[in-house]
Amino acid sequence: MSEPTVPILELKGLSKQFEFNGDRIDALRDANLRVSKGEFVCLIGASGCGKSTLLRIVAGFEKATRGSALMWDRPIEGPAPDRGMVFQDYGLFPWLSVRGNIAFGPTSRGRPRAEVKDTVDRFVELVGLQRFADAYPHQLSGGMKQRVAIARVLANDAEIVLMDEPFGALDAMTRERLQDELLDIWQRTGLTVLFVTHSIEEAIFLADRVVVMSPGPGRIDSQMQITLPRPRDVVAADFNDIRRELSLRLHSHHARKAA
């Protein structure tokens, strides 16, 4: 089947400047990116290269200084349910249970009570938290909290999920388990995912495509399609060939900047 002519997300000449102590800081400069519906794209790059800024513009939390961010060819003018953000610190409401957190979006949008209940039940099951559905965030592990955060976004009818280092604060075993679970959810729902990470290995394990950003000011330097079959073996030779290539691209940015 041919790719739709209109991507779900398109960034054209996207630039963002911040004022700091009277100086103008370029966080992003002339970033261009197209993301197709159902694609899993990872952004990698050094700290301060504009990955999170780009994500926040797509989410509608920040306005671009120049250029445009389009969803289905329409300008993004602010936050909306079709774009869900998942943060490293979860962002759950501590006074609401797992069910309450997942129900928050549909309830706020005036969905009928029976529909909200069906939606919550479906996504509680999808993320495997049936036994903890009535628990509160302080009673959950970090991995469980992140699963609730993902379910809350999905229950709000998000078409694209924006993830800003969502597994960065988790231990290695929990991180690996959640990577597998995220891929399972993505494959079952047909979601589009734009995922920011510092980890080259995580990006290769998850993504259809890895986008490499250069630092100061942030630009999209290069992109690599990842064609390895899933599930991917992180110790396989072809996986490590890709890791070496992406590592060289990232390190070349540091070398150029130092020169």
Write the pLDDT tens digit of every residue in 33-73: 999 999 999 999 887 788 889 999 999 999 999 999 999 99
Beginning with the edge strand found earlier in the chain, give each strand of the sheet holding 40-44 in spatial order. 83-86, 160-164, 192-196, 40-44, 209-214, 219-225
Residue 117's alpha-carbon distances to 99, 158, 212, in angstroms, are 9, 18, 41
CB contact burial 141-162 (16+ within 10 A = b; e otherwise): ebbbbbbbbbbbbbbbebbbbb
Q: Is 94 part of any domain?
A: no
The whole model's pTM is what? 0.89
* Confidence check: pLDDT of 3 > 70: no
What's the CA dihedral at 89, 169, 164, 141 to 10 degrees? -50
Q: Round to whole Å and give the CA distance between 151 and 124.
A: 7
Q: Is 36 part of any domain?
A: yes
Structurally, the chain folds into a number of domains equal to 1
* Confidence check: pLDDT of 235 > 60: yes
Q: Is 59 part of any domain?
A: yes
- The predicted structure's pLDDT at residue 1: 45
* Confidence check: pLDDT of 136 > 60: yes
Q: Is 115 part of any domain?
A: no
Q: Which tokens hold the place of 123?
A: 């996504």
Range of the domain at 35: 1-82+190-259
* Confidence check: pLDDT of 140 > 80: yes
Q: Which range has highest mean pLDDT (65-79, 151-165, 213-227)?
A: 65-79
Peptide bond into 79 cis (omega under 30): no
Q: What value does the mean pLDDT take over residues 75-98?
A: 89
- The predicted structure's pLDDT at residue 189: 85
- pLDDT band with cut points at 50, 70 and 90 for residue 195: very high
- The predicted structure's pLDDT at residue 44: 93
- The predicted structure's pLDDT at residue 194: 96
Whole-number percent of the chain with pLDDT over 90? 55
Cβ-based neighbour number of residue 86 at 10 Å: 23
Q: Is the dihedral of CA 108, 114, 119, 121 positive or negative?
A: positive
Output Rg (C-alpha) for the chain, integer angstroms.
Answer: 19
Q: Is 205 part of any domain?
A: yes
**25: β partners:** 18
- The predicted structure's pLDDT at residue 143: 86
Q: Is 251 part of any domain?
A: yes
**175: β partners:** none
Residues 6+ apart with CB under 8 A from 19: 25
CATH number where 37 lies:
3.40.50.300
- The predicted structure's pLDDT at residue 71: 95
Q: What value does the mean pLDDT take over residues 164-169?
A: 86
- Terminal C-alpha separation, the chain: 46
Residue 185: which of 156, 161, 202, 210 has the closest Cα? 161
- The predicted structure's pLDDT at residue 206: 97
Peptide bond into 112 cis (omega under 30): no
* Confidence check: pLDDT of 160 > 70: yes
Q: Is 153 part of any domain?
A: no
Whole-number percent of the chain with pLDDT over 70? 96
- pLDDT band with cut points at 50, 70 and 90 for residue 259: very low
* Confidence check: pLDDT of 168 > 80: yes
Q: Is 232 part of any domain?
A: yes
- The predicted structure's pLDDT at residue 69: 95
- The predicted structure's pLDDT at residue 215: 79
* Confidence check: pLDDT of 254 > 60: no
Residue 28: strand, helix, or coil = strand
Q: Which range has highest mean pLDDT (44-53, 177-186, 228-237)?
A: 228-237
